[in-house]
Amino acid sequence: MSQFSSACLIAGLAIAGSASAQTAPSADPHAWLEEVEGEKALDWVKARNAKAEAEIAGTPAFKTLEAQIRAILDSDAKIPGVEKIGDYYYNFWKDKQHERGVWRRTTLAEYRKPEPQWETVLDLDALNKAENAKWVWHGADCLKPKYQRCLIALSPGGSDADVTREFDLTTKQFVQDGFFRPEAKGGLSWIDDNTVYVFTDFGPGTLTSSGYPNIVKEWKRGTALSAAKTVYEGKPGDMYIAAMRDHTPGWQRDFVSRTLAFYNDELYLRNADGSLSKIDAPNSAQKGVHKDWLLLELREPYEAGGKTWKPGSLIVIRFDDFMAGKRDFTALFEPTENAALAGSTWTKDHLVLNVMEDVKNRLSVLTPGKDGWAKSAFVGAPGIGTLGVGAVDADDSNAVWLTATDFLTPTTLSIAEVGKQPEVLKSNPVFFDGSKDVIEQHFATSKDGTKVPYFLVRPKDLAFDGKAPTLLYGYGGFEISMTPAYSGGIGKGWLEKGGVYALANIRGGGEYGPRWHQAALKANRHKAYEDFAAIADDLVARKITSPAHLGTMGGSNGGLLMGNMLTQYPEKFGAIVVQVPLLDMKRYSHLLAGASWMAEYGNPDTADWEFIKGFSPYHLFDPAKTYPATLFTTSTKDDRVHPGHARKMMALMEAAGKDVRYYENIEGGHGGAANNAQAAHMTALAYAFLWEQLTK
C-alpha cells in the first residue's frame, strides 16, 4: 500500500460489528428473536421463509426473473476487475462453475485480450470441498516487494468475523505452520517476512464495546499468538485499534490507528524504538500519508498556519515538516455549494482528484513540483456518468484504472497513463434493453426548503398519468454517496418491464461532502427522512407515479430509512422492501456493533433517547394505522446489523395483522448472500414482490 489513511483500517465497516451475545430486555415480548441461532427463533424464521417463498417465489414469472438475474451474475462476459500484485494482475471471480469463487491471475498483455487466459491461484470451491467448509473470500494482503507471501482472509458463511491464513503465491498453497489468526473481527498486516501486526480477539477484555479489536500486537513467526508483544491498547469506549506498515520503497513507516468512532480517529507514527508520535491533526479529519506528504481531508473547520480551512477541504503539507511543528498547508481542493471531493488517488508522480458537482464526477490532476502544485485536466475523462479512478501501481507507474458507468450504459474499464488518452480494456455486456429509457436529474424541495437531488430513469414515452410502477431507492447515512451505476438486476427486474427507477441523494450521505452528512446526524436525523418523503412527493407531483404505484427499498442504514418511511409516511407508498435493517433504536447500541454507530444516531441510554425515539420504527409502529405491503429480508449470518431487528419488527406487524412477509437467508452476512445463486434469489424476491404490489 502506497498511502496510509486513517480511514483505511475501518473501510467498509459502516454498520458493522461483532457477534458476541448480549442480553435481551425482558419487557420486549419479541426479545427471544434476538437469539440468532436459537432453535425456537430459527423455527420461526423457517416458517416465515416458507410462507414468503410460497407467495412470491412460486410463479413462473419469478423463476424466469431469478434465472435472468443469476445469468447476469454468472456471466463470463462481465468485467473481471484486477489488482496488480507484482508482475501479475489478480482477479477474484464467481460464476456458475465457481460458486464461492476462484482467485486467479494473468498478465497485462493477456488481460488486454477479449478472452484472457487465467492461471488459478486458489479455488475456494475446491478448498471448501477439501475442508468441508463454507469459506467466503474476504481478500488478500501480499507482501512487497517480493510478493511471495500473502495473508488471506476467509469468512465462514459470509460473516464479518473471519480467519487469516498465510499463503504462498509461488507454490499456490497455504503455508504449513504459517501465520494463522483464529476466527474473530480484526486482521493481520505485514511488517516483514517474519513479523506481522495482529489486531483481534485475544480473550476477555480485548474487544471494544463494538466488538472490534482493542489491542494491536507485534507477532513474530514461530511464536505463539499469546506471546505477541503489545504495541498499543485502546481505552474504554474506543471503537477499533489497528496498525500497519506502509511498504512504499524508500518511505517505509509504521502507523497505529485508534478509532474512537466513525470520522473520529487518532493516527500515530510508530518510531524505531517502539514509541508513538501522534500526528496532531483533527480527529475528524481523514489523514493520509504518502511518501513525503501528509494530506488532510477536513470535516470540520481547522485553524492552522494562521488560516481557517473550511470543512470539505483537502489540504497538504510535507509530513516531516508537520511532525516538526510547521503548519504551512496548501489547499488542493476547497468545496463550493455544489461541489464536494469524492476521492483522490496517488500515482507515482501525481494526485488525481475526483470531484462531484451536483453528484456528477469531474477529474483533474495535481502534480507537486519545486514551485508548488500544478493543476491540469485529466485527459480523456468521459463527460457523463459516474467515474472511478484507482492507481494501477502507485510505486512505479502513473497509470490509473478508470471506470465509467451510468444507469443505461454498460460499465467500461480503461487504463490511462496520466496525460494521455485512456485505452478501453473491457466493457460489460448489454444485460437489458435500455434504449427506450432516458436518465434525468431533478431536485425536490424538502420540508426546511433544502433542494435535494435525485436521479430518475424512465421510459421515453412515459404517459405522465401517475400510474407508472416506480421504485425509489435510498441510503442517507455515514457520508456514503448514491451515484448512477449500470445494474443488470435493476434493468431486468424493473426497467425492462417499463418501470421507473429513482435514486435519492438525501442528507446523511456524502453527495455534497461533510456538510451534507452532518446535516442529518443525531437530533437532525429526521431531515434525511423529510428529504426522502419530499422526493416521493415530487415523483407524484410530476405525475410520474402515485402512492399506490410507488415502492421503495433500502438496506442497512437504508433499512432504517425504510422503517421510517413505513412508520412515518405510510400513505406515500404502495409497497416497501426493508433489507438488513436497523429498526429497534432503543436496543441497537447493545446489539452487535451498534455502539460504533452512536456518532451517527446518538446514545439511546442517555437523554439522546428523546430524539432517537422519534426515528425508531420499532417504537413508532401503531397497530391502529394502515401500512403498505411490506417485505423484510435479512441474513442469519449478518454479524453487522443484528437480524433481530427485522425479526422483531416482522413479529410486531404480524401480530397486528398487517400486510407483511419475511425472508431470512441462512448464509450471506451483511450483504445478504454468500454466492450468486443466493444473491439472485434475494434480488428476485424484492423485485417480484414490488412489481406485483405496484401494478395492481
> Active-site positions?
556, 670
Rounded distance between C-alpha atoms, residue 331 and residue 95, angstroms:
46
Residue 631, strand partner residues:
577, 661
Q: Where are the beta strands (DSSP E) in 158-239?
A: 162-168, 173-174, 180-184, 187-192, 195-199, 215-220, 229-233
Rounded distance between C-alpha atoms, residue 248 and residue 3, angstroms:
8
Q: Is the dihedral of CA 280, 281, 282, 284 positive or negative?
A: negative
> C-alpha grid cell for residue 330?
496548501
To which H or E segment does residue 662 belong? Answer: strand 660-665
Burial 320-333 (b: 16+ CB within 10 A, else e): eebeeeebebeebb
Q: How many CB atoms lie within 10 A of CB 502?
A: 24
> C-alpha grid cell for residue 345?
488517488
Q: What is the dihedral of CA 317, 320, 324, 329, to 10 degrees?
A: 0
Selection from 148, 211, 165 nearest residue 185 by Cα: 211
Rounded distance between C-alpha atoms, residue 497 and residue 683, angstroms:
15
- Give, in order, the Cα–Cα distances in Å from 257 to each of 56, 214, 294, 304, 323: 47, 11, 15, 23, 17
Place of cell 421510517: 564
Q: What are all long-range contacts of 300-305, with beta carbons under 8 Å and residues at least 24 apart?
A: 300/514, 304/329, 305/329
Selection from 525, 560, 691 nearest residue 632 by Cα: 560
Rounded distance between C-alpha atoms, residue 397 and residue 380, angstroms:
18
Query: What is the 3 state secondary structure string of 465-485?
Result: CCCCCEEEECCCCCCCCCCCC
